[in-house]
Structure 1
Amino acid sequence: MNRPSGLGRKIALRMVIVAMCGFTLAAFSAFFIYNWVFENYPGSVAAPDDWIPHTSDYLVIVLAVIAALAVAVFAGMQLARGIVLPLHSLAQAARSIADGDLKARASVRDGAAIETTALVADFNHMAAQLEALSSDMVTWNAAIAHELRTPVTILKGRLQGVSDGVFEMDAATLSSLLRQIDGLARLVEDLRVVSLADSGRLGLQKELVDLAQVVGELKTVSEPALKASGFRLSWRLTSVMLMADPTRLRQAVLALVENARIHATPSDLAIEVFQSGDWAVIRVADSGPGVPPGAERLVFQAFQRKTAATEGSGLGLAVVRAIAQAHDGQAEVAHAETGGAVFSIKLPL
């Protein structure tokens, strides 16, 4: 593929070509045509010391001007072709995208100007982003509908059973209904957090907090379910002071713990808080089966599950990333030597 050159260089080159052609024509007319005419028809042109041109002199001038104009028009058309054709392709692609064809792309020929090539490349990148966004919206809508359908169906079935007299509205039935409602509430809140984060509007109520205390407050909430699932918990919490939103951090840590409960093999589970350089770190390390190679980034995307487990919304790790990034931090996953996964939230001090 030919290396593109700048539009300014192309214009300058065309002007040089036109000037050189004009100079060449003038020199050719002066030295060759007049020399031939003087030798063969000395009376048909003005003498060298005669300032008044004859008819043939005007004819030579007109022919030279016509030839120069032809060269200039040709050079201009070539230059315009190199500019207009990509723009025409760009306009066609834009119309196709406006009509709903998000796969449409503009094209540019070899040797086009750098500016034109960059414009087409930027347009095609924008079109690709729009296509990906549209695809993500379809995926999100389908995933949200799927996640909402299960608890809503259960609620509808239980309430219909109570209405028909199949179930009694006792404590067990109420508890079951409340669990489904809690699940719906968590799903809606997770969707809200991820959506606000994607739009850059996830607000934080920051205050000076002790990260160890914030995470430690979750012991009574998370330990019963984890122990019931067969996990052996290890809490290693070192005091680290920083400005953060304690409510959002608790939400993120609970999401990490819940992710381990659903996907990790029941075994040792370590929950740590410590300082590493200019970062405060929250770490949750399980004993397996870990994250498949190459899936380290995918697990933090919404509705991505690394196992076949049906429990959970697929939004937990997306919420973790959203909250970490809202604190100007980052969420990471690494492979543990024991074969498990090590999830970390790193927050700047």
Structure 2
Amino acid sequence: MEQLVRKGRDGILLQLFSINASQPKQLESIIPREVQPLLQKYHEVIVVPKGLPPTCSHDHRIPLIPGKGPVSVRPYKYPHFQKSEIERLVNELLASGVIRVSNSPYSSPVLLVKKHDGSWRMCIDHRELNKITIKDKFPIPFIDELLDDLHGAKPEKCAFGQTEVKYLGHVIFHEGVAVDPEKISAMVDWPKPKNVKALRGFLGVTGKDNVVADALSRREEGMQGEVLALFLPIPNWTTTLKEEIESNSTLQQILKNISKGEAMGPWKLHNGLIFFKDRSYLAKDSSVIEEIINQFHGSTHEGVQKTLHRIQSTFYWQGMRKHIKEHIRSCEVC
């Protein structure tokens, strides 16, 4: 383009984007006739809300770390059609009373995310503001709690007369709640790992250490040793555990019993480590227990039961629940 301009040639710069030419459907056309009388009787359930919600005992606020100045992030560069869509959405929010004109020194950029119906959702990038925000003590609600609170919606965003409804990556139907197959299709359709490199690729797709058990169930015969080599997510734990086995009398006795075939129960030895029910066995006073709990709990800050379940898939020591409960009780975030 620059070369053409230098040569003095004329041209036209075009920006192409797709638009949805279809007109929005009338409410009567998207709601089954049998359902319409019921919705008319309880029309207040689907009335579009106006303004802010009523005052609550614990209204939303953003406490900031003392001494931090205002966060002001420049807007992103948008294509022309997205700029027009953002302006339209902002005008809708202003008209509904959800937002108001402000001269605050704080500002965060917005971006548009395509929804499944082709329309746009406006999202605000609060990452810089989050960095100077005092973390809330209240945990994020579980999906079950969110589903229990699912009530009230705009009629054009509802599907009536359906046998199942999709919500937050889950499918709600007459038998209960299940994971949306579309959300996990990449994991389910992933080829069966045949070596360590393929297994690492699979774990990279599915997420973190809590999917190790599922990955192990998909291993091929003959991969036992290779998979167990990946079983411990932090290498320096392996070195520390081996040193503790050499110095701990209780672990030494277990090691001798396994070697002689006298151990009672599902004990195993692998690469110098002791395994109980395919889980790495630790002494109850092991120096790495606190680090392990912090590694598993610090990334999600889940409750005792969920943290215990995740750690139990990899490690075992006597008094696990007590240790985890004490750690979470003293957690500054929880």
TM over 0.5: no
TM normalised by structure 2 equals 0.20
